[in-house]
Amino acid sequence: MMIVPLLWREATRFPAALTRSVALLVLVFLTHVGQAVAIAWSMSAVLHGQAREVLLALSLILGIALLRLVLSLAQASAAASLGGLVRQAVRRRAMEAALVPERLHDTGARDGSMRASLGDGVDGIDAYVSKYVPAIVQLLLTCPVVVVALLWLSPWAGLCVAVGVVFALVGPLAWKRMMARRGLDHWDSYEALSADLLESLRGMATLRTLGDVSGTRARLDHRSEALRRATERVMRGSLGETSVTDAAVQGGAVAAAAVAITHAVTGQAPALEVYLILLLSSEAFRPIRDLSRHWHAGFLGLTAIPGLKRIGAFTEPGGPAAEHAAATAAPGTGDDQAGEVRPADELRVRGLSFGYPDAAGDVIHDLDLTARRGSLTAIVGESGAGKSTLFDLLLGFLNPRTGSIELDGRPLRARDIAVVSQRPVLFAGTIRDNLAVTGATAEADLVRACRDAGVLDEIQRFPGGFDTEVTEAGTSLSGGQRQRLALARALLARRPVLLVDEPTSALDADRSAGVIDTLHRVARDRVVLMISHRSETLTEVPDVFSLDSGHLHRST
Ligand SMILES: Nc1ncnc2c1ncn2[C@@H]1O[C@H](COP(=O)(O)OP(=O)(O)OP(=O)(O)O)[C@@H](O)[C@H]1O
């Protein structure tokens, strides 16, 4: 018996479903005990030639079997419903955490391992929670009752069974712990293979052009081999665990049977009692056999726990992630959604300093910046100067060591900001679907935003117009089209601050000038702050700052 408090807590979050599942399990077990008693009665009646009793006992056995069928079906359904509730809750929390990026660009999480945890990991804990947990409760409730009944019938037989039960529960603990340890390696291998496989599939074109297909195949083979070895190690541990449990169960039952036979031979007990000892001692071990079966089914869930913890599946909403999720909640739900942008005049950053925890010095040094509504503000800087870090600080993904960020004199909130990232993400669906994530659905709004973003002409040239399908990650559109569509989406979000990261990186000179014109226009009723590498596109921008190793200067 291995109790994992974290998963118990998940099961006890649904007390009604857990109680129903346990109660039905106990009833099913009672039908087994009842049937054992009826069989003992029928055999004793056969021995004594009591035809009427035999008939009665056989009818009872049949009735109990039918009752058990109904109860077993109800119990399976109760277990499925408990498992479903837990799965849903765990997945919901994981999704809530997953939908809050740690950084604008790189979150550090690998999609493949996330998928493995969210899919197979969550399914794995279902078996532990819906089957193993109720089976433990049932064992604790029923096993002592049967052992006491056996002690009453025959103290020696009861003692043999009691010792067998204790050994069956305690004996395999060391094996179970070893399996749990090996299981973690197994899960790590499984996650690593899933992550590598997904990345290889996504990057297949790049790998092919770099001539690394065979290298990738070798890496995947290596991962596969590691997973096979880890699986074998777990299976060896599992065999050991099963053998110890079986030895204790069989040993206890055989010893009790030997006591029963001795009673029969010496004539110490009537036939009915002998049969009862034989059958009940076997029934006493039934919950243990069930528990062992469910342990193997629920084992995958145990090994997935660290992965699930990493993605926040056991973290209650209410932490910083949830606050951020709430702050960036879907447009249409906040007070700043109705109608036009609720304007803000001034974004002011004062004395901002930040250093990464594992880095030697600060990346942003005592930075002051004011960006105003009405004119575009741009920040230029070399690669590594700290531009993305500054955006992550503005977005609240990183916490400054010192300094403040205010919008019109109050702290800047995540829901004040719309972002067009350097690598905009589009979702599988139509262009309209991608724009509708902002909550805006009116055709006139979509047309205006797309016109302002300079992408309307191209959309109208597609045969499907706004209903043209874009694939996952937007690969059916050009880089420039994706960027302008993302800009249209950000405009539809109606936030008072617009952050734009490298808006012209995927554009030719004409298009770049067009996008800068667009940003000038949208800056009339928003604070617009853009990052750029290309200072040559910023000749018309009045406020250009240059970021140099985390120090900000006004550009000349
Ligand atoms: N998670 C991190 N841990 C430690 N250092 C980091 C981390 N992320 C970024 N840095 C460092 O911080 C500095 C600023 O990085 P940042 O990504 O902000 O630069 P950037 O100006 O946006 O660069 P680019 O134009 O290439 O995107 C770099 O020296 C980078 O190596």
Closest ligand 1 atom to Cα of 391: 18
Which of the residue ranges 84-88, 232-236, 369-373, 421-425 would you say has the lowest mean pLDDT?
421-425
Shared domain check, 350 and 299: no
| 386: in domain | yes
DSSP string, 196-263: HHHHHHHTHHHHHHTT-HHHHHHHHHHHHHHHHHHHHHHHHHHHHHHHHHHHHHHHHHHHHHHHHHHH
The predicted pLDDT at position 330 comes to 38
| 330: in domain | no
Q: Is the pLDDT of residue 515 over 80?
A: no
Which of the residue ranges 438-452, 463-477, 516-530 would you say has the lowest mean pLDDT?
463-477
Instruction: Count how many domains the chain has.
Output: 2
Amino acid identity, residue 411?
A: P
Return the best residue to mutate from 387, 534, 551 for the ligand 1 pocket (most ligand atoms within 8 A of CB).
387
Shared domain check, 278 and 224: yes
Query: Exposure pattern of 357-374 as b/e (b: 16+ CB <10 Å)?
Result: eeeeebbbbebebebbbe
Question: What integer best gives the mean pLDDT of the chain?
Answer: 84
Q: Is the pLDDT of residue 306 over 50?
A: yes
Closest ligand 1 atom to Cα of 390: 18
Which of the residue ranges 103-107, 132-136, 161-165, 452-456 would you say has the lowest mean pLDDT?
103-107
pLDDT in tens, 37-59: 999 999 999 988 888 999 999 99
pLDDT in tens, 257-275: 999 999 888 888 788 889 9
Q: Does ligand 1 come within 6 angstroms of the Cβ of 550?
A: no
| 328: in domain | no
| 535: in domain | yes
| 490: in domain | yes
Shared domain check, 504 and 548: yes
Shared domain check, 497 and 352: yes
Domain boundary among 289, 323, 357: 323
Shared domain check, 352 and 305: no
Shared domain check, 414 and 520: yes
Shared domain check, 100 and 131: yes
Shared domain check, 312 and 353: no
Which of the residue ranges 9-23, 89-103, 420-434, 483-497 would you say has the lowest mean pLDDT?
89-103
131 vs 408: CA distance, rounded Å: 56
Distance 534 CA to ligand 1 centre (A): 18
Shared domain check, 232 and 168: yes
Distance 53 CA to ligand 1 centre (A): 86
The predicted pLDDT at position 333 comes to 37
Domain boundary among 323, 338, 364: 323
pLDDT, average across residues 352-360: 89
Shared domain check, 67 and 212: yes
Q: Residue 486 CB: number of other CB atoms within 10 A?
A: 26
Domain boundary among 264, 290, 323: 323
Distance 549 CA to ligand 1 centre (A): 10
DSSP string, 442-482: -HHHHHHHHHHTT-HHHHHHSTTGGG-EE-GGGTTS-HHHH
Whichever domain contains 178, its CATH number is 1.20.1560.10
Instruction: State the pLDDT confidence band at 315, using cuts at 50, 70 and 90.
Output: confident
Range of the domain at 549: 346-554
| 329: in domain | no
Query: Is 388 within 8 Å of 423 (Cβ atoms)?
Result: no
Which of the residue ranges 3-17, 58-72, 315-329, 388-402 would you say has the lowest mean pLDDT?
315-329
Q: Does ligand 1 come within 6 angstroms of the Cβ of 360?
A: no
Q: Based on DSSP, count helices (H) and strands (E) in the chain, helices before strands.
A: 19, 12
* Distance, first Cα to last Cα, the chain: 73
DSSP string, 150-212: HHHH-HHHHHHHHHHHHHHHHTTHHHHHHHHHHHHHHHHHHHHHHHHHHHHHHTHHHHHHTT-
Q: Is the pLDDT of residue 103 over 60?
A: no
pLDDT, greater one: 530 or 511: 530
404 vs 125: CA distance, rounded Å: 44
Question: Could you tell me the CA-to-CA distances from 229 to 182, 186, 304, 491 in Å, in that order?
Answer: 11, 8, 18, 53
| 294: in domain | yes
Which of the residue ranges 31-40, 72-81, 292-301, 374-383 would you say has the lowest mean pLDDT?
292-301
Shared domain check, 409 and 310: no
Shared domain check, 36 and 144: yes
The β-bridge partners of 347 are 371, 407
Distance 455 CA to ligand 1 centre (A): 31
Whichever domain contains 388, its CATH number is 3.40.50.300
Instruction: State the pLDDT confidence band at 332, using cuts at 50, 70 and 90.
Output: very low
pLDDT, average across residues 4-28: 92
CA dihedral angle for residue 104, residue 105, residue 108, residue 114, rounded to 10 degrees: 90
| 264: in domain | yes
